[in-house]
Every structure is written in C-alpha cells, then in structure tokens.
Chain A
C-alpha cells in the first residue's frame, strides 16, 4: 500500500485539478456531495446536502455564490494514489469573472448536464470560457435515474456542441451515486496533470477570497509554479503589498494546515489581510523573498454593471446600514457603494453590483444578517453623457441625468451646465438557447427590447442558439421573466458586456401630488418613454394605498407630462361596530396597523410602501432569474 500524497510534497503527475460546469438545478452540488462521500473525506453520517455551499442563502437558493476548493484522495485503476482538487465555481452570469478565474486554476472541467433538460445558455457560456482557457472537457449527463431522462437525445446534443462522440458522454446519477466512481476515474485518465515549473519563483493564482470573522481573509489559491512555505512572507503582485503568512493549508473538506503548497496544488493562505480587496480574485501571490517577475495572466477588476440606491426605511438606521456594507465588503470585492442623499428617501447609498442576482443577494444579506429594513430603488445601468461643451459625466443615478426636474441632484455639482450632445449606454451580447418552436417568440421579445440579431445556430434539430446585441438596460428589468413566460420556461439566457452605443435616451420623472420624487426617476429610450410612463403610473396606482386625499401620479419628461393616473381619496376606513367583545380585537388590530405604518415611507404626505420603489421591476420580478 502506497502512502497517500502529502500536501507540499505532492508530485504534479498525480494531481488533477478540475471543476464542474453546470446549470443551476442540474445537480452540481449533489454530485460534489457524492464525490466527498465516495472519496471518504466526509463520512456518511456527517453528510449534509450541499456540503460545500456555506452561506444560508446558497443552500436556500440552491446556488453557489463563492467558489470552494476541496482536495480529494482517489485510488486510480492503475493502483496509484491521486489527488483530485475539485474547484467549485459560481454558477451565475453576475460572477462570470470569478468563474473564469476558477477555470484558470484547472486543467479540466466536468460539463454536467441534466439528462431531462439538455444544455442551457449559462452552461454553454461557461463551456466556451473553459474551451478558451484550454481545459479538457468531460461531458456528463446527470439525473439518468429520472423517468423523464432522455440520455440518447442529450448525449447527441452534447457531442455536437463540444465535438465528441455520443458514447464519450458519461452518464451518472448524483442522487444515487451511479456512475460517480467511473467519472472520477475518467478525471484521472483524461484531465492533464499540472505542468508548472516546481523550481521557478512561486506564483499562485487567487481564485477566491473569503472573509472569516475569526481568521480574517482566507485566500484560495492554485499554485502554478514553485512553492510557498508556511513561514514565508508573501507578496501580492498587483499591489506590491507584503504580508506575513499565518497559515497555509488544504481543504479536505475542512481546512487542514500544511507545511506549504507546491506547484500544481490547490489550497488556502491566511496572511492577516483584513479585507478581501487586498487579496483580489485574479491576483498573483508570490514569495516576498524570491518574487516572480511576471504575474499570471488575466487579472482584471470586475466592473459594476448595475446600480441601485439602498436606503433604510427608518432613517435612524443609516449608520447601521453603513457598518453592514463595510462588513459585507470585507467578503465581496466587487461591491461598491458611496453615500448619496435622496430628497424622497433621505440618506442612503448608491451601490454598484455585478448584476441583478448580485444586487438581490447583497440586499437579502443586509436584511437577513444585519436586521435592516431597506428600500431599494429600481436598478439602472451606467450612462456616459457628453455635453455640448465636450464635458463628460458618468451617470449612475437617474436623478443625476442632465436635464429634467427631479428633486435636486444627489450630489451637488454633479450635473454640468449646458446641453447634452450624446448619451452612451452599455450593451451586451446576449445568448438565448430555446426549443426551435420558440424562435419567433424569442426574436419578437429581443426586437422589442432594441436587440440586433447577431446570429443563430441549431444545436440540434429542435434546439437553437440565438445571439443578440442588446442594451444592458433592456435586460435588467423583466427580460428574463418575459423570456421564460414566452417560452414556457424552456429558454435560458446568458450575456456578457460588449461595449457601449449611442442612444436617444431621456429621463422620465415621476411626480406625486405634483412633486417630483427623485427615487422614482428612470432613464429610458425616447421611443419607449410614454409606454414606460403609462406602465409606471399604473403600477404605482396599484401599489400605493388610497390615502385620505386624492393623489395624482404623473410621469414627465422635463416639464412635459406624458402619463397621469389618480389614486382616488379613501372615503371609508372605519370598523362599523365596536362593542364590549370587539375592543380587544380592535386594539390589537390598531397595534398591528401602527407597526405596518412604520414600514411605509412618507413622501410629502403620501404613505408609500417599500415595494413601490422597485416598481419599475415587473410584478413577477422576484423569481428565478439565474439564467
């Protein structure tokens, strides 16, 4: 019996670094669970579902937000002991930069597809990322135990997409464990061993950083060249910052300290860094004593794509909100925010997110983990506005858009004088996968959202990939919900930034009782301004309860009113009877109503419920938008 490889002294020849690319719900976490059990790193009785997903939100939503890496011992069919490093990747478009970094830490990828559903747009996008990164792909159909599974059909589709033969597609059931051992053997046989230079100066790629309350920042790295020892000081190549090393280790699946990490290995570093922005994903770690000259390729700051205002419902909670954001940022390098003031909502923050899911998660964590009641304004993209004078302004808050009349700028002096010469908006390349029957429905929707067809390909006889170039702003509202409802849930979506385009955009303000409410302003295409105004006023009429007086709601571009609705005055709000037995019940109702009132925001004299501030999102917006 051979001795299992020891961290820091593992021969690269027995290391296999791989990840799993899968669509949400296609069973990635369950497959990871089975791998943990089969390799014996988690005993059956300690097993819990989605072992690697750490945050409550991850488990509840069934998604992976932050990536993980776990070292699995595996006896190959040749009798040798191998080390399999499973690098779990985030599964959402918002985190595609993190996905690409996770991929860069691997030599191979398991392409996991639900045998009852076939490949989805998100998987396809990540698959292309993996191919670009030069990874070896192992196609796998999961859920073959399901009665609805169609392994023949989807094996053919997968083979066609990645250019292999249908029999090359492995078949597993992560639920029952069937085929998982064969899959691990295939990883050993097919994924190339790492081929770094073990004697070169150390270079480790950061593919994740998490903040731990007790230990500070834990940085996940893939050693590419050389080695890092636990008593060695490290140097971050992008910043030049030097840190003491407090601990080096591997995850199996709990952290295990080691002597160090050698070329080809995957593990973690704890360096006393207090904030994940000092150990950013994509950066290269080297030894301070013998630094590498060149960083590993591909480091980039992910840029926020979507902005929204976050305000405490209760203005007194502003300091708590600030502290909570500061804490979240320790663990989320891509979250940006700066204070802003709204005439309607008071003090809050304009926050930038990688995408809508990122926004939702941050908001949910702020409410859940920090007990805050928040109002978030409708999300918007970033606009570049060029004035006649040649001056340029970047607009992340619609109320700062030059022209119009909404309740005063959030940042005095942010709006330059003069006329607007041109406005540029971000565009994306969107990919939709759908059954061929729905091509018309998809194209109609994309066209209506100012999309320009960029190409179309059949993945199989009845499934098609449709590519559009579209304004990002058209996607961040209810696009995905619309897409789902028009294709009976069959379509999937992915998109990536593709620069900017000039567009005829205007700011639509919303006025309550004749007063503009800055938090309701939105930037929309001139051709759609009226439609938007009608929809928003109608929606607000639904969301704002009747008050004791009539409340006119108007939508306006500058001084021109383009839509109007009126909330009729409430005429009756009284319980008819209040006799002996009614008094207790009535008092309790009153106590409850007073609590409810606290969750309302007063805009002038109008009580506006929190939901109204996100009204530009459609009613169905809360649902699955994870593409």
Chain B
C-alpha cells in the first residue's frame, strides 16, 4: 500500500471488467483484502495510506467506515458476478484494523461471507499493533471469525522502537502472541524490522531470538525502507540520524535467516518464514502467484485477470464514491502479455518455489545460468527447471530479476 498511486487509465463508474479478465476469475484462487485506514498516531517511518483522527477531516470517520466497506463489498458482488470462487483468504490490514470496534470487523466479515462467499477453510487474518490489543480483544477477534493474527512487533530493543516511534513496550508483542494462542488463533505471525538507525547486530539477534521464543508459527522480517515524505526520511536528510547501511542490512538478513532456520522456520518468500507449509500466509501467496483479489477500502489495490486497479486514497473521497454507488477506483491498468510475464518472473523469483525457466527468453535463461554460477541461484532447482535464489541471491533479487528479464 506504500507510496503514491501509479498513473493509470480511468476506471468506469460501474467498475466493469474487460470480459477477458473476468473470464479468468473461475480458474484461480480468490482473496479479499480490507484496508482500514486509521491509526492512533502516525509512526515516523510509515508512508501507508492511513490517517489519525486529526488528519481525517469531515466526511469520514472510524464509526461510519464499516458501512462504507460493506457497500463496496456489495458493489464487488455486482462487478464480479457469480463466476468468482469463494474467498480462500481474507486479510484486514492498515492502518490499524483493531481501531475498529470488534462488532464492525465482524459485520464486514459477515458481509464478505454473505456477498462473495468464504471457503470453509478460509484463512482470515487481522493485523494488530501490540499496544492496540489485549487478552479480551483477541478473544473478541477470534469470536468474530478471525483465524490468524499478525502482530507488529518490529523489535525488542527499546531505543529501536523509539526511533520507529512505536508505542508498545518490548515484551508486549510476545504477551499478545500468548494471548492469541489462548484465544484459539491457529496462526500467529510476528513482523520484525531490521536496519533501523541505532540498531546493533546484537539488538537484531536479540529481537529475532525474542520473536522465536514467543512461539509464532510465522515471521516476517523487513529491511527498514526509508520512504520519501516520512518523518524518518526528513530526520535522515537533516543528518539527525544515519541512513540504513546496505552492508549492515545484508548482515542482519543473513543473521535472521540463520537463526530462523535453526529454530525450524523455512523461508518461503524473501521476507517471510513459516514453521511449516501450512503456516505460510495464503493471502499473500495469492499476490505472489498471480491470483485474483478484491481490495476493499481507501487506497486498496485489486487484481483480476491482468487488470490492476486502485481506489481513491482519502477516506472522505472514498466514502462519497461508495455512497453514490460508483466505483471507488481511481485508476487501473490492463496489463499486456509481456507485462504479466514480467510480473510473474519478478514475483515468483522471490519465492522458495522459484521462477519457472520456461517463463524466460534466451537472454533470461543465460542470466539464470550465470546466477547459478555466481552462487545466487540453487543449482539443483536450476537442473529441475526453476530459478530458486540462494541466501546471497535473495539479497540481490532485484539485480537477478533484471537479468532474468533479458
């Protein structure tokens, strides 16, 4: 959800999809993303589409949001028609979804089930900040139907949390993970950020070890990305704090991968590790394997059969559109065959299952062979017809992908 929206074509008011794209609905997994664009305060590094109460202005509020989301779900039903399979995964992200009342979250979820259908085994994830949930609210979320919770732990070093402007105390995320287990969540994931200015190698190892000790079944670890327009970017520009160093980031990634592997986690995407195949995030795999999804909410992105679109970003503008019964889509792009191939290569190369060599042209296949020779791709997988990145290769994934697209 980061960054400014791309340039695109206009979206028709009725949201209608090209027939060729709609025809692809039946044959691929389907997911729903719900964007909840509210935060109590804005963290210094975050450029997601989210608003504090003070930033919202008139025309939008947390209290009225569920109704608007439900209206877009009904709109989606009309656009998708009967062809879409029931959703195999739903993901509530933000923002801070848990700033909505549990009853609102439940109502949105029921609307998805009612209008679009939920598979019996659907994975239903909610993101939560450790300070925004407690034992009782986690029980409530479980009761509302959520099966998976993703907690933004980020770090266990207090000075790192301070630079990130995160409000929770270091031990809070681990406690939340415990409460989530007790509440009956079958899947609990922790998010970590590495490379924050002021973080030492030791701080990072400690964070990973603390995360492992909290016994999640899934972990995400992201290099801190300094996004333009954030307070963090401004502080770095002014020289108040140093920019993250690429070599340090590479070291931290390698350390995390080693510690996690030793604890029984396997990487399945560059920044994601799971305790077993069943623990992988099915929702995110829909993104990475070319599945279809509808993104509900301000600024949310959607994809159906090679058509990508994105909603207007401001909650007030969004509210007006859905109230009027017109598509909240701000722009879209209809991908060419070559662009879709490019995306498949770019996304699958990030996965442990790898990129199929048949996707590549002669130049790309030569680059794949070179990546193997350089120790960036696994020789065994290459022999079996796939490009699977080694640890070093994952750190250079963008460079490898540029070669694969030759």
Residue numbers of A with Cβ under 8 A of B are 548-549, 570-588, 590-591, 593-594, 597
Contacts and interface: CB of A to CB of B under 8 A. Distances in A.
A128 to B, nearest CB: 53
B75 interface: no
B133 to A, nearest CB: 22
B328 to A, nearest CB: 14
A464 B258 CA distance: 71
6 contacts: A570-B399, A574-B270, A576-B271, A578-B270, A579-B284, A581-B1
Contact of B399 (A548, A580, A588): A548
A581 B301 contact: yes
Interface of B: 1-3, 6, 8, 33, 222-223, 225, 246-247, 249-250, 253, 270-271, 284, 287-288, 293, 295, 299-303, 308, 310, 333, 339, 342-343, 346-347, 350, 374, 376, 392, 394-399, 401-402, 405
A582 B250 CA distance: 22
Contacts of B225: 575-577
B405 A573 contact: no
A24 B292 CA distance: 64
B287 A570 contact: no
B250 A583 contact: no
A578 B395 contact: no
A26 to B, nearest CB: 41
B270 A580 contact: no
Contacts of B398: 573-575, 590, 593
Given A572-B250, A579-B287, A584 B396 contact: no
Contact of A571 (B247, B270, B308): B247
Given A549-B374, A587-B342, A594 B402 contact: yes
Contacts of B397: 573-574
A493 to B, nearest CB: 38
A586 B395 CA distance: 16
A251 to B, nearest CB: 49
B402 A590 contact: yes
Nearest to B309: A584
B2 A582 contact: yes
A428 to B, nearest CB: 45
A626 B228 CA distance: 40
Given A583-B287, A594-B402, A588 B395 contact: no
A106 B1 CA distance: 71
Given A577-B271, A590-B402, A572 B247 contact: yes
B386 to A, nearest CB: 19
Given A579-B287, A581-B2, A581-B299, A572 B249 contact: yes
B222 A576 contact: yes
A263 B12 CA distance: 77
A570 B397 CA distance: 12
Contacts of B342: 587, 590-591
A590 B405 contact: yes
Contact of A577 (B2, B33, B253, B346): B2
Nearest to A546: B246
A578 B299 CA distance: 16
Contacts of B33: 580
A521 B310 CA distance: 53
Given A580-B287, A581-B301, A572 B346 contact: no
B296 to A, nearest CB: 12
Contacts of B392: 571
Contacts of A574: 270, 394-398
A593 B402 contact: yes
A581 B95 CA distance: 14
Given A572-B253, A590-B346, A584 B333 contact: yes
Contacts of B303: 580, 583
Contacts of B3: 582, 585
A593 B301 CA distance: 24
Contacts of B347: 578, 583
B192 to A, nearest CB: 11
Nearest to B394: A574
A568 to B, nearest CB: 8
A566 to B, nearest CB: 14
A35 B95 CA distance: 69
Nearest to B224: A576
Contacts of A590: 342, 346, 398, 401-402, 405
Nearest to A591: B342
A186 B295 CA distance: 81
A574 B293 CA distance: 25
Closest 8 CB pairs of A and B: A571-B250, A581-B301, A574-B397, A576-B222, A581-B1, A576-B223, A572-B246, A573-B399
Given A571-B250, A583-B287, A588 B6 contact: yes
Contacts of A594: 402, 405
B56 to A, nearest CB: 20
Nearest to B293: A580
A579 B299 CA distance: 13
Nearest to B194: A576
Nearest to B254: A571
Given A583-B287, A584-B8, 10 more contacts: A573-B399, A575-B225, A576-B222, A579-B287, A580-B302, A584-B301, A584-B310, A586-B346, A588-B6, A590-B342
Contacts of A581: 1-2, 295, 299-301, 310
Contacts of A591: 342
A584 B308 contact: yes
Contacts of B8: 584
Contact of A583 (B308, B374, B394): B308
Contact of A573 (B253, B299, B350, B396): B396
Contacts of A548: 374, 376, 396, 399
Contact of B343 (A576, A577, A583): A583
A570 B402 contact: no
Nearest to B223: A576
B395 A571 contact: yes
A222 B387 CA distance: 74
B257 to A, nearest CB: 13
Most buried by A among B300, B303, B350, B399: B399
